[in-house]
Structure 1
Amino acid sequence: MFTQDMIASFNELETSLYNYISQNADKVAYMRIRELADETHVSTATILRFCRKINCEGFSEFKVKLKMHLEGNKKTVLKGSQHSVMEFFERTLKGDIEENIRDAANLVVQADSVIFIGIGSSGILAEYGARYLSSLGKFSMYIKDPHFPIHSKLRYNSVTIALSVSGENSFTVTHLNQLKQEDSKIISITNHKHSTIAKISDINIPYYVTEEWYEGANITTQVPVIYILESMAREMYKLNR
């Protein structure tokens, strides 16, 4: 609700008002302007000036926005991990995921090197995937910087494996586009097949679980991604033998 630019524009009184609201948002949402003025020891004029700085015409509009903000930040009731895993198996394993994994493994076997990309929790799993494939004999590396110099010998006959829950992360899309222009084959692992990353991939492996968010952070289970990465690596190992 409060942006960095808004906070930077506050004077000393407005900053103290901001601190009080941040710590007592549930209470402030139902206070009258005079009650808030008494609690924070500022004038009603200061409160109205504060409201205008955060793009509200008055205190009433501010309270409406504050209530909407609080409603959006209600604590999430997290599903049990067993529920998420069962959802994955029920929705996905009835489809053609195993065939997609075999096709991806075939592509990896034919490549000289494998490049993993992803950010956030997907980046952590991308690093894990690179380590796992390398442990089974396929040279793999995780790159999180789109400007990281990759020697032409590594780009030649390479496969890029992109991980993204939404499949719409602009950073990953940009990075993927650069690698695609260098003729790297693209395998993506996303939550559904209708995303941008899925559409620009040579092979997409979707896993279809319900996305979960908590205070703006995507906490969707990553168990399906681990299953897909390990299955792909083991299939690659069998093909090599």
Structure 2
Amino acid sequence: MFTHIALSSLNGLELMVYNYVIKNKDQVMYMTIRELADGAQVSTTTVLRFCKKMNFSGYSEFRIRFKLYLEQEEKLLLTSGVSEIVSFFKSINNEEFEQLIARAAQHIAAAERILFVGAGTSGTLGKYGARFFSNVGKFSNYIDDPYYPISTNMYKDAVAIILSVSGETPEILKLASQFSLHNCKIVSITNSDTSSLARMADFNLSYHMPQILIASEYDITTQVPVIYILESIGKELAKKMGH
């Protein structure tokens, strides 16, 4: 119902509607458009735009189709957070997403150097990505220090794979601009393709998961989609290298 291609067309406010719908799916089918707008903290106009981008004629059709969609789902007892992950995998189970993975691999395959970049949890995943890519035969390094100096032309034939949930971390954006300045291509993996990092990148992949912060500071947004995306790109690279 919610494809990756359709989700990629949503702006920040429309993504708020999507995240609210996914987290409150049992209530949404009974809500008026005003109640949904208030719950998602957006306007009714934004809700209507969301419906249009999801290929519904209006809110009434969306609510009917959404109810049918839920009724067709298997009745599973899902723990907190699992429903969002299930929704992610459903959204990427199509040829369009496979093509995005193939395009990402194409950007990376010809590079002489691969650098994974991230801070915090994203830095840890960058280290994993570098090891996974190296395992499939594409030697990679990682940078998990957001203040790492980028000041030479050694990155001219390199690709920086930059990981960031928000895509708005100032230190990561500064690193990205330095990579661009030294003719290094950027492939970003972010939660939203409307973020600053996504717009700076030569190619971006987004996973559109509800962002969860503890104490308005510590990000515990699930990174299962990131691991899946990294492994999918790595396996595509292995195919290109004849493994």
Structure 1 gap segments, 5+ residues each: 1-78
Structure 2 CA distance for partners of 1:204 and 1:132, relative to 1, 3 Å: same
Q: How does 1:1-241 map to 2 (within 5 A)?
A: 80-94=80-94, 96-145=96-145, 148=148, 154-216=154-216, 217-241=218-242
Mapped to 2, the partners of 1:211 and 1:145 lie a distance apart of 23
1:116/1:143 contact within 8 Å kept = yes
Mapped to 2, the partners of 1:153 and 1:131 lie a distance apart of 24
* Aligned-residue offset at 1:96: 3.1
* Aligned-residue offset at 1:93: 3.8
* Aligned-residue offset at 1:135: 1.3
1:87/1:209 contact within 8 Å kept = no
* Aligned-residue offset at 1:128: 0.6
Identity of aligned pairs, percent?
Answer: 39
* Aligned-residue offset at 1:94: 4.9
Runs of 4+ displaced beyond 4 Å: 149-154
1:113/1:154 contact within 8 Å kept = no
* Aligned-residue offset at 1:152: 5.4
2:150/2:175 contact within 8 Å kept = no
Aligned with 1:162: secondary structure?
Answer: strand
* Aligned-residue offset at 1:151: 9.0
Mapped to 2, the partners of 1:143 and 1:198 lie a distance apart of 19
2:150/2:179 contact within 8 Å kept = no
Structure 2 CA distance for partners of 1:95 and 1:239, relative to 1, 3 Å: closer
Deviations 1:35-69, CA, capped at 9 Å, x for gaps: xxxxxxxxxxxxxxxxxxxxxxxxxxxxxxxxxxx
Query: Mean Cα displacement is larger for which, 140-149 or 130-139?
Result: 140-149
1:188/1:198 contact within 8 Å kept = yes
Structure 2 CA distance for partners of 1:88 and 1:178, relative to 1, 3 Å: same
* Aligned-residue offset at 1:145: 3.1
TM-score, normalised with respect to structure 1: 0.63
* Aligned-residue offset at 1:118: 0.8
Mapped to 1, the partners of 2:179 and 2:112 lie a distance apart of 15
Matched residues, number: 164
Structure 2 CA distance for partners of 1:92 and 1:214, relative to 1, 3 Å: farther
Structure 2 gap segments, 5+ residues each: 1-78
Aligned with 1:176: secondary structure?
Answer: helix
Aligned with 1:96: secondary structure?
Answer: helix
TM-score, normalised with respect to structure 2: 0.62
Mapped to 1, the partners of 2:208 and 2:137 lie a distance apart of 30
Q: Once superposed, what is the RMSD of the aligned Cα atoms?
A: 2.1
2:159/2:184 contact within 8 Å kept = yes
Mapped to 2, the partners of 1:163 and 1:93 lie a distance apart of 22
2:153/2:182 contact within 8 Å kept = no
Mapped to 2, the partners of 1:119 and 1:213 lie a distance apart of 16
2:147/2:171 contact within 8 Å kept = no
Deviations 1:80-123, CA, capped at 9 Å, x for gaps: 24223212123344583321211111111100110111111111
Structure 2 CA distance for partners of 1:148 and 1:208, relative to 1, 3 Å: closer
2:160/2:187 contact within 8 Å kept = yes
* Aligned-residue offset at 1:134: 1.0
